[in-house]
Amino acid sequence: MTTPGPGQAVTPPTPFTPPAPTPPNGVPLPHPPSAPPARAGRAPLVALTALAAVLAVATGVFTVLYLGERADRDATAATRAEQERTLADVTAKQGAADTTLEGNRSRESTLTAEHDLLTQCVDAAKGYFALPPEQTPESSRLFRIMYDVCPQI
Protein backbone atom coordinates (compact mmCIF):
# COMPACT_ATOMS: atom_id res chain seq x y z
CA MET A 1 0.00 0.00 0.00
CA THR A 2 1.33 3.39 -0.92
CA THR A 3 0.67 6.68 0.70
CA PRO A 4 -0.88 9.33 -1.50
CA GLY A 5 1.30 12.15 -2.51
CA PRO A 6 0.51 15.80 -2.34
CA GLY A 7 -2.59 16.72 -4.31
CA GLN A 8 -3.85 13.13 -4.51
CA ALA A 9 -7.19 12.21 -2.96
CA VAL A 10 -7.48 9.43 -0.45
CA THR A 11 -9.92 6.77 -1.60
CA PRO A 12 -11.48 4.52 0.97
CA PRO A 13 -11.08 0.78 0.46
CA THR A 14 -14.01 -0.95 -1.20
CA PRO A 15 -15.83 -3.45 0.98
CA PHE A 16 -15.71 -7.12 0.11
CA THR A 17 -18.91 -8.44 -1.42
CA PRO A 18 -19.23 -12.20 -1.60
CA PRO A 19 -20.24 -13.75 -4.92
CA ALA A 20 -23.94 -14.33 -5.41
CA PRO A 21 -24.98 -17.79 -4.28
CA THR A 22 -26.29 -20.17 -6.87
CA PRO A 23 -29.42 -22.16 -6.15
CA PRO A 24 -29.20 -25.93 -5.81
CA ASN A 25 -30.42 -26.53 -9.36
CA GLY A 26 -27.38 -24.65 -10.67
CA VAL A 27 -29.24 -22.00 -12.62
CA PRO A 28 -28.14 -18.56 -11.55
CA LEU A 29 -30.88 -16.21 -10.45
CA PRO A 30 -31.50 -13.08 -12.52
CA HIS A 31 -30.79 -10.95 -9.44
CA PRO A 32 -29.26 -11.97 -6.19
CA PRO A 33 -31.62 -13.01 -3.39
CA SER A 34 -32.09 -10.39 -0.74
CA ALA A 35 -31.49 -11.17 2.86
CA PRO A 36 -34.64 -11.88 4.87
CA PRO A 37 -35.85 -8.76 6.62
CA ALA A 38 -34.57 -8.51 10.14
CA ARG A 39 -37.38 -9.11 12.59
CA ALA A 40 -37.86 -6.20 14.92
CA GLY A 41 -37.31 -7.08 18.54
CA ARG A 42 -40.09 -6.92 21.09
CA ALA A 43 -38.14 -4.53 23.35
CA PRO A 44 -39.49 -1.28 21.80
CA LEU A 45 -43.05 -2.62 21.92
CA VAL A 46 -42.67 -3.63 25.57
CA ALA A 47 -41.08 -0.29 26.43
CA LEU A 48 -43.84 1.69 24.73
CA THR A 49 -46.53 -0.45 26.38
CA ALA A 50 -44.93 0.07 29.79
CA LEU A 51 -44.65 3.81 29.16
CA ALA A 52 -48.32 3.97 28.12
CA ALA A 53 -49.33 2.07 31.27
CA VAL A 54 -47.29 4.40 33.49
CA LEU A 55 -48.81 7.45 31.81
CA ALA A 56 -52.33 6.01 32.17
CA VAL A 57 -51.76 5.34 35.88
CA ALA A 58 -50.31 8.85 36.35
CA THR A 59 -53.32 10.33 34.54
CA GLY A 60 -55.66 8.39 36.83
CA VAL A 61 -53.80 9.50 39.95
CA PHE A 62 -53.79 13.15 38.89
CA THR A 63 -57.47 12.98 37.96
CA VAL A 64 -58.37 11.58 41.40
CA LEU A 65 -56.23 14.23 43.11
CA TYR A 66 -57.76 17.00 41.00
CA LEU A 67 -61.31 15.88 41.70
CA GLY A 68 -60.55 15.59 45.42
CA GLU A 69 -59.07 19.07 45.55
CA ARG A 70 -61.98 20.50 43.55
CA ALA A 71 -64.44 18.94 46.00
CA ASP A 72 -62.44 20.38 48.92
CA ARG A 73 -62.35 23.79 47.24
CA ASP A 74 -66.10 23.72 46.61
CA ALA A 75 -66.75 22.73 50.24
CA THR A 76 -64.45 25.51 51.46
CA ALA A 77 -66.16 28.04 49.18
CA ALA A 78 -69.59 26.97 50.49
CA THR A 79 -68.40 27.26 54.09
CA ARG A 80 -66.89 30.67 53.39
CA ALA A 81 -70.09 31.90 51.73
CA GLU A 82 -72.11 30.71 54.73
CA GLN A 83 -69.72 32.45 57.14
CA GLU A 84 -69.90 35.66 55.09
CA ARG A 85 -73.71 35.55 55.22
CA THR A 86 -73.56 34.99 58.96
CA LEU A 87 -71.08 37.85 59.30
CA ALA A 88 -73.36 40.14 57.29
CA ASP A 89 -76.26 39.24 59.59
CA VAL A 90 -74.14 39.85 62.68
CA THR A 91 -72.90 43.15 61.23
CA ALA A 92 -76.49 44.28 60.61
CA LYS A 93 -77.48 43.29 64.14
CA GLN A 94 -74.37 45.03 65.49
CA GLY A 95 -75.33 48.23 63.67
CA ALA A 96 -78.83 48.11 65.15
CA ALA A 97 -77.40 47.38 68.60
CA ASP A 98 -74.92 50.27 68.28
CA THR A 99 -77.76 52.65 67.31
CA THR A 100 -79.83 51.45 70.26
CA LEU A 101 -76.86 51.78 72.59
CA GLU A 102 -76.16 55.33 71.43
CA GLY A 103 -79.81 56.23 71.97
CA ASN A 104 -79.76 54.65 75.42
CA ARG A 105 -76.58 56.50 76.36
CA SER A 106 -78.09 59.77 75.21
CA ARG A 107 -81.27 59.04 77.18
CA GLU A 108 -79.19 58.06 80.22
CA SER A 109 -77.30 61.33 80.00
CA THR A 110 -80.57 63.28 79.77
CA LEU A 111 -82.11 61.34 82.65
CA THR A 112 -79.01 61.77 84.79
CA ALA A 113 -79.06 65.53 84.24
CA GLU A 114 -82.79 65.63 85.02
CA HIS A 115 -82.24 63.49 88.12
CA ASP A 116 -79.56 65.87 89.34
CA LEU A 117 -81.90 68.85 88.85
CA LEU A 118 -84.74 67.08 90.65
CA THR A 119 -82.44 66.10 93.49
CA GLN A 120 -81.26 69.70 93.88
CA CYS A 121 -84.84 70.97 93.76
CA VAL A 122 -86.10 68.41 96.29
CA ASP A 123 -83.16 68.98 98.63
CA ALA A 124 -83.64 72.76 98.44
CA ALA A 125 -87.40 72.43 99.03
CA LYS A 126 -86.93 70.10 101.99
CA GLY A 127 -84.30 72.40 103.46
CA TYR A 128 -86.44 75.52 102.86
CA PHE A 129 -89.54 74.05 104.45
CA ALA A 130 -87.52 72.67 107.37
CA LEU A 131 -86.31 76.16 108.33
CA PRO A 132 -88.24 78.38 110.66
CA PRO A 133 -90.60 80.88 108.95
CA GLU A 134 -88.34 83.89 109.49
CA GLN A 135 -86.20 85.28 106.73
CA THR A 136 -82.59 84.07 107.02
CA PRO A 137 -79.70 83.99 104.60
CA GLU A 138 -80.03 80.23 104.45
CA SER A 139 -83.71 80.42 103.56
CA SER A 140 -82.91 83.01 100.89
CA ARG A 141 -80.23 80.74 99.41
CA LEU A 142 -82.54 77.72 99.39
CA PHE A 143 -85.38 79.76 97.87
CA ARG A 144 -83.06 81.04 95.18
CA ILE A 145 -82.04 77.41 94.33
CA MET A 146 -85.72 76.41 94.16
CA TYR A 147 -86.48 79.44 92.01
CA ASP A 148 -83.58 78.73 89.60
CA VAL A 149 -83.66 74.94 89.44
CA CYS A 150 -87.26 73.80 89.87
CA PRO A 151 -88.73 75.62 86.81
CA GLN A 152 -86.22 73.83 84.53
CA ILE A 153 -87.85 70.51 85.31
Using alpha carbons, select from 23, 45, 24 the residue that is nearest to residue 32.
Answer: 23
Spatial separation of the C-alpha atoms in residues 102 and 95, rounded to whole Å = 11
Q: What sign for the dihedral angle of Cα 100, 101, 105, 111?
A: positive
Closest CA to 153 of 101, 123, 118, 110: 118
pLDDT in tens, 22-49: 666 766 666 665 666 666 688 999 999 9
- Looking at residues 57-64, what average pLDDT do you find? 98
CA angle 104, 108, 113 (to 5 degrees): 155
Q: Where are the domains of the chain?
A: 44-152
Q: What local confidence, expressed as pLDDT, does residue 61 receive? A: 97
Is the separation of the CB atoms in 153 and 121 below 8 Å?
A: yes
- Rounding to the nearest 10 degrees, give the CA dihedral for residues 69, 75, 80, 83: -160
Element (H, E) at 77: helix 43-130
- The confidence score (pLDDT) of residue 13 equals 64
Q: How far is Cα 22 from Cα 35, in angstroms, rounded to an integer?
A: 14
Q: What pTM does this model have?
A: 0.42
Helix H or strand E segment including 34: none
